[in-house]
Structure 1
């Protein structure tokens, strides 16, 4: 008798991180990672800023480094990204298989003067030797605009954290990867908070077959603020796209 066909490979999700003062081993996306794992996906989480150094002077140069590394991850069925990681993920869509699904949380496809001013304010604080103040401002900006203030306690951050914050914020300024998103034939789900102080609906891009979901009342981290709702949304997306 002929041997039975091998089982289909486990779908693989590659997750690109946002700007973090220190690499947190994926804690930033814990609710989403649990959802993906529970749905049967193999999840690889990477520190997006790990490929940054002083020679990187633009988002294009930064994305080029990730483009060169992308084949090392093997087949990617679901490309995920949060904030900076979402911007990089969208820029990499032309280098993925056409049927690759994308999952973005507050991942800008483009910026505007308001967003760039807020990113630059954080970057300038970090670059001027005040990484704690930069991180405190970032912690405030990721909250919903009508929500409670961030903890006013001082935030500790060292020079290395300051370099990461400054670099990550400045990489996002002036980006526009809308063309790459519009041209992607695969499915895409972008989730943004209606009350975000940073990435909002106007910073997203989507083709007619893509979906942008606005999380009511959420800030930059709807997956952390509304984990049950966002997890349900992601599970439905995975089922619809045959990844669960």
Structure 2
């Protein structure tokens, strides 16, 4: 069965019709609005530069009020998968990474997987931080929620993070009600997550990149089989691909080369 819901926003990069081009499917993180793939720009450039066709999906566009769990969101994404044809590289960032890992039983066992700060499981600390952001957004304070999210994606100890103290910016980032709905929904969907078994059972290659100084997703939130790789980017927060683009690009290029995807 293919997906029969509302149109899902996508953005396509690289060769769109090249015969034999490998195809990368990227699932987006929680964003206040669809940014057409800007969140993953450094990685997209690397993938497209290696000759891959890259399709980026607005993961949260699959959510509505009837979706009350990660399992329900994953079910909608699972129904959408056939519409994208062959997927050689399944990618995900943050929420998108969690969904990608939950989908592993439904893709070809040989599919390569690339994750950036994509949790396989959550814990009490991470869930408390996600819930705080969600609660602000649900309380009609989307600007404050977005400001706190921006603070939390920075590396621990970076200017503006106030150490481990959780503060809300005095002048919140402008945001609208729709942004608040997306933030609240996306953060809460991650709570209670554990797809570790699906990840460890995946026989294909997998590269996960997390920041050593992340205030949200860290190495302890990842899962991997012995043939998978979890790379911890020194000093990085939730966005190692944006904070250390050269290092992450090199990792991705090597991963593609070793797996015959370029």
Residue 24 of structure 1 is matched in structure 2 by 35
* Residue number in structure 2 paired with 1:162: 180
Count of aligned pairs between the two proteins: 238
1:112 aligns with 2:123: yes
Alignment of 1:34-183 (within 5 A): 34-149=45-160, 153-183=171-201
Displacement after TM superposition at 1:154 (Å): 3.1
Distance (Å, rounded) in 1 between the aligned partners of 2:145 and 2:171: 13
Query: Partner residue of 1:226?
Result: 244
- Where structure 1 has 5 or more consecutive residues not aligned to the other structure, the ranges are 1-6
Equivalent in the alignment of 1:205: 223
User: Hey, what's the Cα distance between the residues in 1 that align with 2:214 and 2:74?
Assistant: 25
In 2, the alpha carbon distance for the partners of 1:145 and 1:67 equals 35
Query: How far apart are the structure 2 equivalents of 1:210 and 1:61?
Result: 27
Matched residue SS, 2:92: strand
Residue 98 of structure 1, CA deviation: 1.1
Q: Residue 204 of structure 2 aligns to a residue in which SS?
A: coil
Please, what TM-score do these two structures have when normalized by structure 2? 0.89
Residues 139-162 of structure 1 show CA distances to partners (whole Å, capped at 9, x for unaligned) of 000000011216875300010000
Over aligned residue pairs, what C-alpha RMSD do you find?
A: 1.2
1-side partners of 2:151 and 2:170: how far apart?
9
Q: Check the 8 A contact 2:211/2:234 in 1, yes or no.
A: yes
For 1:37 and 1:10, locate their aligned partners in 2 and report how far apart those are by CA, in whole Å.
10
Structure 2: unaligned runs, 5 residues or longer: 1-17, 162-168
Q: What CA deviation, in whole Å up to 9, does each residue of 1:172-225 have, x standing for no partner?
A: 000100011011000000000000000000000000000000000000000000
2:235 is matched with 217
Q: SS of 2:119's equivalent?
A: coil
